Structure 1
Amino acid sequence: MANIVITGSTKGIGFGLARAFLDAGHTVTISGRSDLSVRTALERLQAPAERCAGIACDTSVMRQVQLLWDFAEETFGPVDIWINNAGLARTGWSICDTPQEEIESMLATNIQGTINGCRVAATGMRAPRKGQTQGGKIFNMLGGGSDGEHFPGMGIYGSTKRALDYFTDALQKELQDSGIVVGKIRPGMVVTEAVVREARENPARFARSRKFMNKLVDQVDTVAPFLARRILECQRSGTKIRWLTGSRIGMRMFAGLFRAREDQFARHGL
């Protein structure tokens, strides 16, 4: 049984991962920006307290990230897997039109928050731990732009994820003799609360892209169990766990020539 910490796990893919790990019999510590979001997520998960707990954490604040690590260890013992999932995607603007506060929030959460999480987890996993050898797994959640691809309206967000790709490579090399596995997660296009929010904020833009997006998007409860299983199985540092592979994209586009895919947004009221 693994002891797993997931940042930004009160909703979206992080919440889906928490549920998948719990279903597989592991212990999970979740976190979110507020006490209310954590309490609400714990109620939704309906897991016993001896297997799931949570604490509020702003990952851009190093002290709070350290408190998250300490809380997880005090509650469930040595942390085996740390997943930096907390992220903020505010898209739809050009680089020059993106509000300054949105730029600062994405930089603080996506880059600084992930760096903080990696530093805390790596330090903790390298420290002598009673009854356990040094080591563990650290995974960073990437996203659109991390491979250098460009998407309209995602200049700032994509730049943060591209930076994380480089950072994760650098961390993997620095920790290569530590026994710590460092990996990347590319979840693909997933319908999360953030996607629904942005669709409602800009319905005209969403209407233009809906048909194409519907060919490629998936639901959290489809993607999260796959990612969780691959994270548990992973033993090689430098691994990139990818859901929406090139072959899957090709099959989706080919199938779309013959039949329309079920509307993936309708269940979310869009």
Structure 2
Amino acid sequence: MPATVPLKPLAQQSIVITGASSGIGLATARLAARRGARVVLAARNEGALREACDQIRRQGGRAEYVVADVADLAQVEAIAAKAQEAFGGFDSWVNDAAVTIYGRVADVPVEDHRRLFDVNYFGVVHGSLVALRTLRQRGGALINVGSVLSDRALNLQGAYSASKHAVKGITDALRVELEAEGAPVSVTLIKPSSIDTPHVEHARNLLGAEGLRVPPPAYDPRLAARAILFACEHPRRELVVGFGGYVIALMGQVAPRLTDLAMGAVGRAGPTAEVRQPPERRDNLYAPREDGAERSLSRPIEPVRQTSMFLEAQMHPVATVAAVVGLGALVLGAATARGLADGRGAATGPRGDGARPAWRAAERPGRGGIRRRASRIFA
């Protein structure tokens, strides 16, 4: 994308968000409205959309909704028409709608594969083509929500993983084509790791297990919302939400066979009774189910992470490097000062028995401690 794509401040934007009745889409709509943006929410569940818009309006925001299945191009065109009617158009378009299936590839009926691709892949194609009719002339941001599974497939979610690979492919192709024609459009792929949303509760479950879960660690959907809204204002190629998912993709490139074995183990452990599928939410592949929540009703055992230094580093690389360097300098300075003080104490103290000074003993902290501290840096 051209490095000089001009993007408006959020408070001056109108933003279209598909999949906005729950999870990441709903979190994004709410946060965008709080920051002053006008929002058009689109999804299949009218009740959840109406409630979300009413809440935004009660809090002083501006919001409209459109009932639409993104698998139908005509319904996606109706979303753009509503944005034009309500707000005079849009400045950012977020393709977030998605469905998922848990099951072995061989056990998923072909019609279910097609339906999933109609939503996850063709929904992005429909949204992108419709959005670009406006954005090519007006300028703005096209943001597609992929996944860390855009880079590394997960067994028992083969159809979903394949669709997210396809989303990455079409997003990359659009970016190159738009840049070649000099279009004033920023194209961003958002790649969430495991996010604590009703997505799993909405899944079609062919595994026979009573409950499902996403691989830990899980992150708050508002982190993904922050990444999306950052991309509405700042041209970025990709933003990964959560270091845990990035590690999986990186492992797949460095040690693919070892990663295969690890993913197999994760897949076997994945279906558990930890996250229940409430009957009213279960299986929204072909029709909407209960919506209206950002997070799942059943929390994972591990605490859901509210922050991600890895995401912050992507959004603010210069500030992050400066902060890390400054922190390192402070730690080094403090350690040096303490070492000198301990050294002086050992040299002038009453002991003359050749015992190792304290500052020598502190020179090499336990490697386990170092690893534990390092593992928390980019969480």
The question of a shared fold, defined as TM-score above 0.5 by the shorter chain, is answered with yes
Alignment of 1:82-231 (within 5 A): 82-91=93-102, 93-127=103-137, 134-147=138-151, 149-176=152-179, 177-198=182-203, 204=209, 206=211, 213=215, 215-221=216-222, 223-231=223-231
CA contact (8 A) 2:43 2:69 kept: yes
Q: Which moved more, 1:241-250 or 1:54-63?
A: 241-250
CA distance in 1, matches of 2:50, 2:171: 31
- Give the match's secondary structure for 1:190: coil
The alignment-based identity, stated in percent, is 25
Equivalent residue letter for 1:137: A
CA distance in 1, matches of 2:109, 2:191: 27
Q: 1:167 to 1:249 in 2, by over 3 A?
A: closer
Alignment of 1:24-39 (within 5 A): 24-39=35-50
Question: How many angstroms does 1:50 deviate by?
Answer: 6.6
CA distance in 2, matches of 1:232, 1:25: 13
CA distance in 1, matches of 2:47, 2:73: 21
CA distance in 1, matches of 2:188, 2:203: 29
Q: Which moved more, 1:162-171 or 1:44-53?
A: 44-53
CA distance in 2, matches of 1:146, 1:26: 29
CA contact (8 A) 1:188 1:242 kept: yes
CA contact (8 A) 2:25 2:225 kept: no
1:268 aligns with 2:297: yes
Q: 1:14 to 1:191 in 2, by over 3 A?
A: same
Cα RMSD (Å): 2.8
- Give the match's secondary structure for 1:60: coil
- Give the match's secondary structure for 1:145: helix
Q: Of 241, 266, 277, which residue of structure 2 is paired with 1:243?
A: 241
CA distance in 2, matches of 1:49, 1:115: 33
TM-score, structure 2 as length reference: 0.58
Equivalent residue letter for 1:188: S
Unaligned 5+ segments in structure 2 are: 1-11, 249-273, 277-295, 300-379
Question: How many angstroms does 1:61 deviate by?
Answer: 1.1
CA contact (8 A) 1:20 1:224 kept: no
Equivalent residue letter for 1:21: A
Question: How many angstroms does 1:246 deviate by?
Answer: 5.5
CA contact (8 A) 2:28 2:229 kept: no
CA distance in 2, matches of 1:82, 1:144: 21
CA contact (8 A) 2:192 2:245 kept: no
CA contact (8 A) 2:33 2:61 kept: no
CA distance in 1, matches of 2:56, 2:141: 24
Asked which structure has the greater CA Rg, the reply is 2
CA distance in 2, matches of 1:79, 1:204: 43
Unaligned 5+ segments in structure 1 are: 128-133, 251-263
Q: Of 18, 28, 32, which residue of structure 2 is paired with 1:21?
A: 32
CA contact (8 A) 1:30 1:54 kept: yes
- Residue by residue, what CA displacement relative to the aligned partner does 1:28-60 show, whole Å, maximum 9, x if unpaired? 000111433322332344456871110111111
CA contact (8 A) 2:143 2:228 kept: no
